Amino acid sequence: MAKMTMVEAINMAHAWEMAHDPDVVVLGEDVGTNGGVFRATVGLQQRFGATRVQDTPLAEGLIAGAAIGLAAQGIKPVAEIQFMGFIYPAMDQIASHMARLRNRTRGRLTCPLVLRMPHGGGIHAPEHHSESLEALLCHHAGLRVVCPTSPLRAYGLLLASIRCPDPVIFLEPVRLYRFMKQEVEDNGEALPLEHCFVLREGADVTLVTWGATTVESLKAAEQAAAEGISCEVIDVASLAPIDHETILDSVVKTGRLLIVHEAARNCGVGAEIAATVAEQALYDLLTPVRRVTGYDTIMPFYRLEHDYIPSLARILDGIRAVMGD
């Protein structure tokens, strides 16, 4: 069992599934010769050949459309979009065809594909390189949206996504690609989709998060513990569909909910979680639900990027506020 980063675990999951399923192929911009912009597919073309790992033109609509066509004919494509902000040219294919193929054909055709893309800020790049657009994708019925936050979860969830008969959007937090190393066994064991992960048990506050903000959220929970506040930290992991049951069970236990995410506040996935808790656990809440999020602006370039991303200080302030302090 080797210690590895998230990007290495993603690469290993690709290799396992390609070695064990000849129908799995990889396509995208620079995924073959260069191994991807973040090197998530490095070495795959050399190992499996250019037929199964194909470089494409710089055309996101083509990448998504080709993946849909391959999936409809029984191939299992894993396609990469270089940055999440580049997804807009592919949205017609995603919304009009990828998400609807099973329903349109009444189950005669399915769309078993994975569309991978980096998620969020942290690399100090211009606009379109640091987007958190999960709400845009979660709104489309027929799509699954997954966001791992550790090497182990990235490995298991990518395997599950490739094996899933539905289209899966696989969001990879940029700040976590090489943030930490973790022991990951290359055993081909998938993790279940549609489940939250409780990263820390607690009794006073339920802290719900996903993506790279899991790091700051766990740090905030640790510091809050020094103040006598016990936080339960939940990594949502599956953004569509959401495992609301795990979140509701935690809220019933703690009576308080703080939601943390990097995406803009307006119409975010956090608002959906807050609404569900209000509908199903309102009388269990001791204080109003609060959110710590990105701002309703385009991600600012370079100097202000860290002010946009929810900080440890902002999350701690949110914990104190939801405690009524």
Active-site residues, by number, are: 129
What CA–CA distance (Å, rounded) separates 118 from 7?
11
d(CA 321, CA 309): 19
231-235 and 205-209 as β-strands: parallel, antiparallel, unpaired?
parallel
Q: Residues 144, 168: contact at Cβ < 8 Å? A: yes
* CA pair distance 117, 79, nearest whole angstrom: 9
108 vs 102: CA distance, rounded Å: 7
Q: What is the dihedral of CA 86, 193, 35, 50, to 10 degrees?
A: -100
The percent of the chain in helix, strand and coil, each rounded to the nearest 5, is 40, 20, 40
